[in-house]
Every structure is written in C-alpha cells, then in structure tokens.
C-alpha cells in the first residue's frame, strides 16, 4: 500500500515536531548543567540576595537599600526557596532555573499556535540556544522570569481573543494573571499595555463594541495593580537617596544605561546614526548575533510573514517592543541589554519564521539559502551553548580565596572582609564556613572604593590580642596596593595568593593592643 502525499506531509511534520522537543530537552539539560556548577554571587546578584536574606516578607514590599528596585513577588518567591532549601546560591537561583526551563515549553506552545512545524523547529532552536537565556537561567535576577511572563501573557491574550464571548470567569482569570504579572515582573507592564493596544485596535477594526464589556474588568485590575505598585514601591525607590554622591536611583539608572536612552528628537545626522547603531547593538547583545545585519534582515522577513497570516499574533509580539522603545525616548526605561531581554523572544521567533519562509517560498534554491542562513545564524549560538555546557568556564571569583582560607584555618585567625566582599561571603559562607564569633569582621564603608583602605587601617588598630593571623581577601577589582599601604607596620605579611584578579593576603599580628573589644562579627 502506497502512502499518499498527505501521509508523507504528516509524517514529515511529526518528525520536525519531535526534533523540536529534542531541542527543548537539550536546552533544559544545558540549563540544569549550568545551574549545577557552583559559583558565588557576583556584585549585582549579591545586592539582590542580601536584600532577600535580610528582609522579612513584609520588608520585600518596601523600597530596598543598595539602589535596588526588584519586583516583590519575585523576591518573595526566592525567599520561599531559601526557607525551604537553605540560604545558598542554588536556592537563590532556583526560581530562575524553573523560569528558564518553563520558558522553552511555553515558547513551544506559542509557536504551535502561530507557526508551522518547520518554523517551530527553527525558532525553538534559537530560543533554546540563546546565550543570555542560558546565563540568566542560573542567576539570582528576575530577567528570565520577565521573559517567561512575556510568553505566558501573549498565550493568554491569544486564548482570550479566540474566545467569541469571554465569560466572567475568563475575564477574572485574565485580570488576575495580569495583576500578578505586574508584581512579579516590572516589564510586564509594557506587555499588558501592548495587549490592550492590540485588543483596542482589533475592536475598532471589527466594530465588535460588545467585546469592550469583557475587557473592562481586566484593564481596571491591571491599571489598579500597577498604580498601587508604583505608589508604594517604584516611585519611592526611584527618588530615594539610596545611592552614592547623593543621587537617586533614577539618576543613576540614566547614567548607567545611557546607551538605552536615545536622543529624541534627533537633531543631527550623528544622532540619527545612533538609532542605527542601537539597532545593530541590540541584535548583537542581548540577542548574540555577530552577523547582526543579516539577522535584522531575516527578522523583517519573518515579521512580514507573520503579519500576512496572523495580525493579532504579530501585534502582540511587536507592540511591547514599540512601547518599550517609546518609553526609552522619554527617559522612562532603558532600551538596551538585559533590560530588554523580555522582548527578545519576539525577535528570535521572527528570525526563525524568516528562515523558514525563505526555505518554503523560494522556488529554486530555497533549501540551499536556508542551509546557509542556518549555518550563519543558528549554528554559531548553538555551538557556543554546547561549548559552555560541555566545557566549564574557569571560576574567576572570590570563592576560591574563601575555599583556601577555609582549608588553612587555624585557631586565632581572623578573616577581614571589605564591604563588597562581605556581601558575597554572606552566601558563600554556606559552603566555606569559618568559626562563629569574632572571627570575621565586616568593614562597612558606604559605597566609596577610596574610603575602604582608610577604614581598613582604622579597624585593624582595634583588633584585640586574641587574634594571631589575619586573612585579607580583596576582590571586585579593588586596588590591592591602596589597601596594603594602609596595613600597620606591626602586621607582617607571610603569604599572598592570586586567582584571576582575586588577591588573598595573610598577615601575622606581632603587636599587642590595648583594645579587648572584639570586632563586629559578620
């Protein structure tokens, strides 16, 4: 019995979908391996981690110190993990791991709604191999959760739009999902605004005025949730003087993310050039395409392909991007780097659709063109992900110094930490604990690198005679020479070590002091 062309097509589509699930499995495996490799928190992570560890659940719903504004539901989720699993890096990063894995599954569900099997396979390969997704699936930051919520809200919006007469139960569920999203992911406000804009345009185009009634409740709840969040958390956090040099967070953000705020309106040819440069920059990072011009061209083809057959899906994917860009022009939100990671699924999907469109629509050489594009756009990030998964990058962090101190600890030792290093040690001590009591001193200097050496000298002069040896690790690119110059002459350096910029010094304390007050314990 011969197989019909339809049977052959079904079998081919099934193979493509099986391949997509295989890619998803590999993506999940890569995330698990990356997560399992222990590394201490870096500086920005340590700010978020210490905020979680030092505050109660109620405190997470208030402006934080250390110039931090983080969604309170995300913080609460991470804190629950630390209470269940312990105060260590694995617990702090567990929500990001779950978000990174769930993202691939939800992305597949979205792709099955808006694309054919070949488009699904190509797009999911790009999403599974994206380097930034892999990295932020193992970091104590909400960026991967932002991306998951972006996909989830678009799926909910598609379901809602396909329901001819949404019930009250559906409206309540839609409303609650958006409200929870706002308190879990700040960028979800742009996604919800985009959903509302697309739904409003669709109502105007179809003149289905009755549908407005089913949207009043969700929009009212979304707006209320954001307004409350803005009043109690975002506005106080942006305007409070929690940073250095008397600057509020809003000012610091604009300085730190200056590339994300383009001049508007552009007043010279040079300023117009900045727009082009920023577009190329986005496709290089966070998307990771070294041939970013080619990636932009293919993404435009994919976007046009989706527009011609599913304008609702096209609008839901693109309007958050346009609204976020508009917010950057009026200096409200930076359009750059990891701050727009939540938007990147749309661009990856457009590239996957663009490659598939060329394969399926070029009369001659479609597969040849597709093979070239796969080689240039999909193969490099996939190879980089495979390399990072199989070959662990060398650890270049201060935990190596902590490990050495822990292994060589003796009675009468004292571990002295600068402010920034103490933030890291709050979590790293789970792995490398030192004796309790006055064995670790926290040198709490506001935020200034130049003030830390002076405070070091003052604190060392108060150390009591019970301590015989001093361990001094210096990380985060601090100027080791400036610190060493402040060490009292009665301290004799007996050992020094370095790990990729991390310095560790050991001193023998040869003097007696009049002070018997032990230093503050960390």
Tens of pLDDT, residue by residue over 45-71, are 888 998 899 899 999 998 887 678 899
- Which stretches within 167-245 are classed as H helix? 168-184, 188-206, 211-229, 235-239
pLDDT(516) > 50: no
d(CA 333, CA 365): 44
Residue 239 banded pLDDT, cuts 50, 70, 90: confident
Residue 520 banded pLDDT, cuts 50, 70, 90: very low
d(CA 348, CA 350): 5
d(CA 342, CA 185): 10
Structure tokens at 37: 């490799």
Residue 246 banded pLDDT, cuts 50, 70, 90: low
pLDDT(19) > 60: yes
pLDDT(514) > 50: no
Region label for 424, one of left (φ > 0), alpha (ψ between -120 and 50) or beta (otherwise): alpha
Contact present, 153 and 132 (Cβ < 8 Å): no
Structure tokens at 375: 């080689």
**How many Cα atoms within 13 Å fall on the side-chain side of residue 224?**
8
Q: What is the mean pLDDT of residues 16-24?
A: 97
pLDDT(437) > 60: no
d(CA 76, CA 338): 22
Structure tokens at 148: 């998951």
d(CA 193, CA 323): 8
Q: What are phi and psi of 392, to 5 degrees?
A: -70, 135
Q: What is the mean pLDDT of residues 387-396?
A: 78
Residue 519 banded pLDDT, cuts 50, 70, 90: very low
pLDDT of residue 441: 63
3-state secondary structure 376-435: HHHHHHHHHHHHHHHCCCCCCCCHHHHHHHHHCCCCCEEEEECHHHHHHHHHHCCCCCCC
Contact present, 425 and 522 (Cβ < 8 Å): yes
More reliable by pLDDT, 313 or 260: 313
d(CA 233, CA 72): 9
**How many Cα atoms within 13 Å fall on the side-chain side of residue 464?**
11
d(CA 20, CA 352): 12
Closest alpha carbon to 440 in 505, 518, 498, 516: 518
Residue 164: its H or E element: none
Residue 277 banded pLDDT, cuts 50, 70, 90: very high
pLDDT of residue 517: 40
Contact present, 144 and 136 (Cβ < 8 Å): yes
Question: Length of the chain in residues, anyone?
Answer: 522
Q: What is the mean pLDDT of residues 229-247?
A: 75
Percent share of the chain, pLDDT over 90: 54
pLDDT(216) > 50: yes
Query: pLDDT tens-digit profile of 90-118?
Result: 999 999 999 999 999 999 999 999 999 99
**Cα Dmax for the chain:** 99
pLDDT of residue 521: 38
Q: What is the mean pLDDT of residues 219-235?
A: 94
Structure tokens at 217: 């409740």
Query: pLDDT tens-digit profile of 472-512?
Result: 888 765 677 778 887 887 788 888 888 776 889 999 877 54
Its pTM stands at 0.90
Closest alpha carbon to 119 in 316, 372, 351, 284: 351
> 503: which strand partners?
474, 498
Contact present, 72 and 174 (Cβ < 8 Å): no
pLDDT(443) > 70: no
Q: In angstroms, what CA-CA distances link 193 with 189, 405, 487?
A: 6, 52, 57
Which of 62-66, 231-235, 237-241, 313-317 tops mean pLDDT?
313-317
pLDDT(250) > 90: no
pLDDT(238) > 90: no
pLDDT of residue 222: 97
> 470: which strand partners?
414, 507
Query: pLDDT tens-digit profile of 314-354?
Result: 999 999 999 999 999 999 999 999 999 999 999 999 999 99
Percent share of the chain, pLDDT over 70: 89
Closest alpha carbon to 184 in 226, 220, 139: 226
Query: pLDDT tens-digit profile of 191-207?
Result: 999 999 999 999 999 88
């Amino acid at each position: 019995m011969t197989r019909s062309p339809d049977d052959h097509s079904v079998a081919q589509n099934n193979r493509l979908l099986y391949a997509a699930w295989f890619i998803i499995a590999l993506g999940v495996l890569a995330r698990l391996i990356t997560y399992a490799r222990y590394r201490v928190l870096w500086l920005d992570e340590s700010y978020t981690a210490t905020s979680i560890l030092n505050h109660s659940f109620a405190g997470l719903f208030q402006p934080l110190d250390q110039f931090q504004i983080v969604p309170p539901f995300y913080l609460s989720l991470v804190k629950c993990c630390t209470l269940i699993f312990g105060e260590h890096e694995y617990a702090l990063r567990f929500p990001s791991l779950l978000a990174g894995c769930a993202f691939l599954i939800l992305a597949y569900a979205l792709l099955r709604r808006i694309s054919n099997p070949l488009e699904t396979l190509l797009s999911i390969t790009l999403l599974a191999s994206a380097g930034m997704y892999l990295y932020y699936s193992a970091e104590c930051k909400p960026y991967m959760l932002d991306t998951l919520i972006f996909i989830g809200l678009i799926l909910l919006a598609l379901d809602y739009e396909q329901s001819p007469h949404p019930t009250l139960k559906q409206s309540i569920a839609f409303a609650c999902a958006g409200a929870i999203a706002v308190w879990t992911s700040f960028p979800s406000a742009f996604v919800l605004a985009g959903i509302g804009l697309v739904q409003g345009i669709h109502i105007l185009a179809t003149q289905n005025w009755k549908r407005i009634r089913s949207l009043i409740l969700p929009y009212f709840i979304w707006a209320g949730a954001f307004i409350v969040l803005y009043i109690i958390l975002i506005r106080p956090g942006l305007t409070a003087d929690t940073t250095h040099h008397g600057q509020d967070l809003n000012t610091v953000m604009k300085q730190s993310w200056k590339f994300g705020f383009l001049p508007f309106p552009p007043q010279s040819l040079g300023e117009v050039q900045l727009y082009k440069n920023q577009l190329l920059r986005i496709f290089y990072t966070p998307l990771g395409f070294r041939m970013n011009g080619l990636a932009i061209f293919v993404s435009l083809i994919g976007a046009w392909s989706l527009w011609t057959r599913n304008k609702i899906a096209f609008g839901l994917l693109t309007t958050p991007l346009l609204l976020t860009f508009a917010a950057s022009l009026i200096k409200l939100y930076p359009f750059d780097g990891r701050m727009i990671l939540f938007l990147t699924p749309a661009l990856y999907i457009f590239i996957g659709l663009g490659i598939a469109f060329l394969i399926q629509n070029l009369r001659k050489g479609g597969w040849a063109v597709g093979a070239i594009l796969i080689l240039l756009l999909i193969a490099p990030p996939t190879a980089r992900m495979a390399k990072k998964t199989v070959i662990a990058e060398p650890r270049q962090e201060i935990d190596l110094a902590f490990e050495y101190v822990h292994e060589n600890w003796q009675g009468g030792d004292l571990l002295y930490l600068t402010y920034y290093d103490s933030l890291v040690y709050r979590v790293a001590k789970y792995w490398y604990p030192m004796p309790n009591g006055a064995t670790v001193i926290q040198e709490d200097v506001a935020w200034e690198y130049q003030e830390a050496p002076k405070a070091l000298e003052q604190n060392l002069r108060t150390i009591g005679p019970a301590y015989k040896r001093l361990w001094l690790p210096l990380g985060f690119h601090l100027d080791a020479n400036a610190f060493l110059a402040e060490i009292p002459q009665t301290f004799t350096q007996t050992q020094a070590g370095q790990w990729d910029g991390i310095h560790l010094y050991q001193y023998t304390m040869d003097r007696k002091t009049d002070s018997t007050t032990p230093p503050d314990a960390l």
